[in-house]
Amino acid sequence: MLERRKPIYKPSNGKQVSILFVGIVIIAFFFLGLRLFYLQIIKGDENKKLAENNRIRLRKLIPQRGLIIDRHGTILAGNIPSYRAMIVPEDFEHSPDGFKLIARCLNINVDEIQKRLKSASKDFPFRPVTIKTDLNWKEVAHIEEERSHLPGVQIVVSPKRYYPFGKTCSHVIGYMGMINVHELRKYEYLGYQSGDWLGRSGIEASCEPILRGKVGGRQIEVDAIGRELKTLSEVLPIPGNNVILTIDLPLQKKIEEIFKGKIGAVIAIDPRNGEILSMVSSPSFDPGVFYKKISKKEWMKLVKDPFHPFQNRCIMGQYPPGSLFKVVVAAAALKEALITPSKKVFCPATFILGDQEYRDWKEGGFGDINLKQALIESCDVYFYKLGYRLGIEKIAKYARLFGLGRKTGIDIPGEKSGLVPDKNWKRKRFNEPWYLGETITCSIGQGYLLVTPIQVASLFSAIANGGILYRPHLIKRIERYDGIITKEILPEPLGKVSISKENLDVIRKALIGVVNSPVGTGRRCKMERVLVGGKTGTAQVISIPKNKNEREIPFKLRDHAWFAAFAPAENPELVVVVLVEHGGHGGNVPALVAKDIFDFYFRRKSGEEMQMVMFKGIANDR
């Protein structure tokens, strides 16, 4: 009998697929669980921060920049509200259409937008990048109209620097520029961001940390396209401190008016404390030009101007002092007892050294003259002889005692140190010995010798005040935005020139004669009501043939003209230094400029004193 076989069980194809599917699902959930563990546990804090960044933003609150104010309280640099367009790189739609739309709204080039985003978004994807500043109402309206199509784009109101007097006092105030990528990385820890402005020259630069203030911030929640929903927290910005200058604005404006059309520098300084009442460098510039929309062509015209309007000639210009330097040589000779005030020296038309002839400016010479006469009429041969006897090392020594050859330490950047040459300097500079003929030319302020107008102002202040060298300064005090004084700048004596009072009196009396004697080279500065003392200087640019008509000489080759003076001579309270580049003789234009300045200053002072007397009289009557 045949045995019946048991059927063998074989799973269906459907069940096989189900088992396989369940297995895959289990494995998938296993890896998903691992991934969730990694994201939520291991990377939890980091991802939470990233998630919050998708809806929470930190908006910078820009502080009001401190004001720059003249000594009488007039604002020289202030602030006005301005609109800027900014983009949060992470929120912005980096598409051709997005770039074209914002470029059209702001009337700028797509490449410029992409360049700005590229430079900042890599390191700071959630930090707003400034695309354009100083937007007009039309541009603001365009952005607002297209807001739904421009995620990550925002309009921010921020203070913009404003210079109410344009070019007036521009070299003192300075100008500002937008921070570049290199500076941003360097100063980022101080709170600077893309689109911020910082001082580039003048007080704007030297007082940048004082004027800037402290940045605030507002933490906000935004929607998907970057629109603000609500404020979560806020730290208000702290305004910058105000800088009050020693500058007297009415005097500054008057000097600029007097000096209009000339190239050079004028400084008016109080010799009793080093306060600079006026500093004029011509030609000048409008510091507001950096905020204006000027073409590249216009900008290059400014930069390549042959007369360099951005250069502050008062502290950067270096020139031979010419006959101004004779006061230093005179002081040195008196100190070294090489001469006495009354001793006469024979001065022919030329000084002969070997086979070299050094002529005097006056044809026929001066004959027998003393020191006072030599300074009054600016006799060259007299000082050739003094220089020959002193030697270059002593000349250099006394020049440095009067502050030449080094920076004065004025409180704005860019100051040059000038040059006081000696044997060692020439050996290092040219690998050549010093020649005696170079001492002769140096003794009348020519040759390698170079000074800045601010050094001359410091030198003549020391002569006027009895020998004290004060640090010249432009800052009078620092005030908080609420008027509380945080720092008062006091007079800072840098040293006393080791020349006796008697010898300085001899020089001062001679300088009074320069202006008030009928034969004085500075007689054009003589005034009726105020006694003025001063010295002329003519600095050669090139050696000019004898009796050559100045008008026949190309402008750039004409002599520079100096005049330095103090008044009232009995008790000086104002020193004026005038340099006219290629201006010819110091006794001409510079002396007349100085006279007009003194006239304005003392007339105005008399008027103010008269008003005070009248006010006191009225008060007493009450």
DSSP string, 104-133: HHHT--HHHHHHHHHHHHTT-TTS-EEEES
The SS3 of residue 316 is helix
- Contact between 103 and 92 under an 8 Å Cβ cutoff? The reply is no
In 3-state terms, what secondary structure has residue 29?
Answer: helix
Cβ neighbours of residue 584 closer than 8 Å, sequence gap 6 or more: 538, 550, 558, 559, 561
Q: Are residues 163 and 272 in the same domain?
A: no
Say which DSSP state 304 is in: T
> pLDDT class for 50, splitting at 50, 70, 90?
very low
- Do residues 198 and 346 both lie within one domain? no
Domain of 233, in residue numbers: 57-245
Average confidence score pLDDT of the chain: 88
- Does 616 score more than 60 pLDDT? no
* Range in 180-189, 306-315, 369-378, 555-564 the model is least confident about: 180-189
pLDDT of the residue at 146? 87
pLDDT category at 619 given cuts 50, 70, 90 is very low
**β pairing state of 356-359 and 350-353:** antiparallel
Q: What percent of the chain has pLDDT over 90?
A: 61
pLDDT digits 0-9 by tens, 422-437 = 999 999 999 999 999 9
**CATH code (residue 177):** 3.90.1310.10
Q: Looking at the structure, do residues 205 and 273 belong to the same domain, yes or no?
A: no
Ramachandran quadrant class, 386 (left: phi over 0; alpha: psi -120 to 50; beta: rest): alpha
User: What is the CATH classification number for the domain harbouring 563?
Assistant: 3.40.710.10
In angstroms, rounded to a whole number, what is the distance separating the alpha carbons of residues 399 and 326?
Answer: 10
Shared-domain flag, residues 192 and 266: no
Question: Could you tell me if 156 and 264 lie in one domain?
Answer: no
* 275 pLDDT higher than 80: yes
* Number of domains present in the structure of the chain: 2
Exposure string for 579-598, b = 16+ CB within 10 A, e = fewer = bbbbbbbbbbbbbebbbbbb
Classify residue 426: in a domain, yes or no: yes
Give the CA diameter of the chain: 168
Same domain? 274 vs 202: no
Residue 378 lies in a domain: yes
Q: Would residue 3 count as lying in a domain? A: no
Distances (CA, A) of 280 to 245, 261, 307, 311, 513: 15, 12, 15, 11, 27
- Which has the minimum average pLDDT: 379-393, 405-419, 607-621? 607-621
87-132 pLDDT tens trace: 888 778 778 888 889 889 998 888 888 887 876 656 667 778 888 8
Q: Is residue 30 part of a domain?
A: no
Beta-carbon contacts of residue 30 (< 8 Å; ≥ 6 apart): none
Q: Judge if 389 and 452 occupy the same domain.
A: yes
Report yes or no on 224 lying in a domain.
yes
- Pick from 575, 523, 563: which is nearest to 539 by CA? 563
Length of the chain: 622
Q: Which residue has the higher pLDDT, 469 or 146?
A: 469
Q: Work out the average pLDDT over 31-43.
A: 61
Same domain flag for 190 and 278 = no
Residue 407 belongs to a domain: yes
Q: How far is CA 406 from CA 416, 425, 470, in A?
A: 8, 14, 14
Residues 6+ apart with CB under 8 A from 214: 63, 191, 237, 238
In a domain, 78, yes or no: yes
pLDDT at 515 over 50: yes
Residue 21 lies in a domain: no
Is residue 207 located within the same domain as residue 318? no
Query: Per DSSP, what are the bridge partners of residue 87?
Result: 129, 153
Contact (Cβ atoms closer than 8 angstroms) between residue 168 and residue 287: no
Dist CA 376 CA 523 (whole Å): 10
76 and 147 assigned to the same domain? yes
Q: Which of 190-199, 224-233, 480-489, 558-567 has the lowest mean pLDDT?
A: 224-233
Active site residue ranges: 323
How many CA atoms lie less than 13 Å away from 546 in the CB half-sphere? 8
Same domain, 199 and 269: no
Strand partners, 161: 79
Report yes or no: 117 and 92 within 8 Å, Cβ to Cβ.
yes
Task: Report the pLDDT value the prediction gives residue 615, as an integer from 0 to 100.
Answer: 46
Average pLDDT over residues 214-220: 87
Amino acid at position 480, single letter: R
Domain end marker among 194, 223, 245? 245
pTM of this structure: 0.84
Asked if the model's pLDDT at residue 241 lies above 50, the reply is yes
Residues 232 and 265 in one domain: no
- Cα–Cα distances in Å, from 484 out to 212, 481, 487? 17, 7, 9
What radius of gyration, in Å, describes the C-alpha atoms of the chain? 36
Q: Which of 545, 582, 576, 542 is nearest to 560 (CA)?
A: 582
Give the whole-number percent of the chain exceeding pLDDT 70. 85
Which pLDDT value is given to residue 222? 76
